[in-house]
Amino acid sequence: MAFPHALARQQAIYIRGMAGKRPVVPFHADDLRQAARDRLSRSCWDYIDGGAGDERTASANLRAFRDTVIRPRMMRNNEYCDFSSTLFDTPLPFPMMLAPIGALDLIHPRADVMVAEACRNTGVPFVFSNQAGVPMEVCAAHMGEMPRWFQLYWSRSDELVLSFVRRAEESGCRGIMLTVDTTLLGWRSRDLARGHLPFLRGLGIAQYTSDNVFQHLLDTGMGKASGSAAKPPVNFSTLTNLLRQKRNYPGGLWKNLFSARPLEAVRHFVNTYSNPALSWDNVR
């Protein structure tokens, strides 16, 4: 029988429908997107959904995907359809890998782990993001023997880059995806309009805060901005975001409540990140 898992899932849904039970998660892509938009905050949604500039490239990509069609072949024996393939010795049950998604902890603190578990269950390889909200070792532990890769942003610190690569190897990653198009932070109009960057709130920096080299840089002050750092005005929003930094730093809010380390970690992240324009001196 072709596609036994899909057929079994359909059967279970229709049988539950006999009892008046309907699926909670939408099946149509547009409905699923709208459901996510309804649940997320505006800042979170804009960061995930938004693109650079007027987002013309994102729109062009969507049109290109919509213009790509699959041509079915009828009257052939498709009882044993096999979509599997390999990429650099990485087995693919379907010619697809899950791309790295930064700052998934905007959605849920364990979102990276949830994705890792879904990849384990489906066999689809997961590319761990350099800007993840959960350390790569934790996600790897939830994937078992399922294949995974690691996305790498080249940092200002070669020592930190080497540490990331070694950790990726030890976590069972079979390949590295090197991101080369973000030497400058994208001009993300929606985020700029809201003055919102998740990293400054301690989100999406778990690969850094869990790294011994980064912690050493933090202890020694290397990578710290030179000169007087610009500071935002102190108000309720500033204090709220500082508390978020403390909550998102390893150990949680109560452990870090009277510690300056979460703030210093964000500062060091900003100044060891590959982007030369994103310096702490320029943060407002």
Residue pLDDT, tens place only, 136-147: 999 999 999 999
Q: How confident is the model at residue 279 (pLDDT cuts 50, 70, 90)?
A: very low
C-alpha–C-alpha distance, residues 144 and 138, integer Å:
11
In a domain, 77, yes or no: no
β-strand 173-179 against 148-153: which pairing, if any?
parallel
In tens, the pLDDT along 146-197 reads 999 999 998 888 999 999 999 999 999 999 999 887 767 788 999 999 999 9
Q: Provide DSSP, 110-141.
A: THHHHHHHHHHHH---EEE-TT-SS-HHHHHH
Host domain of residue 168: 104-284
Question: Is 76 inside a domain boundary?
Answer: no
For residue 277, being part of any structural domain is answered with yes
- Give CA–CA dist 44/233, Å, rounded: 23
Residue 128 lies in a domain: yes
Residue 222 pLDDT exceeds 80 = no
Model pTM score: 0.85
Task: Return the pLDDT at 277.
Answer: 44
- What would the mean pLDDT of 70-92 be, rounded to a whole number? 83
Asked if the structure places residue 175 within a domain, the reply is: yes
User: How many domains are contained in the chain?
Assistant: 1
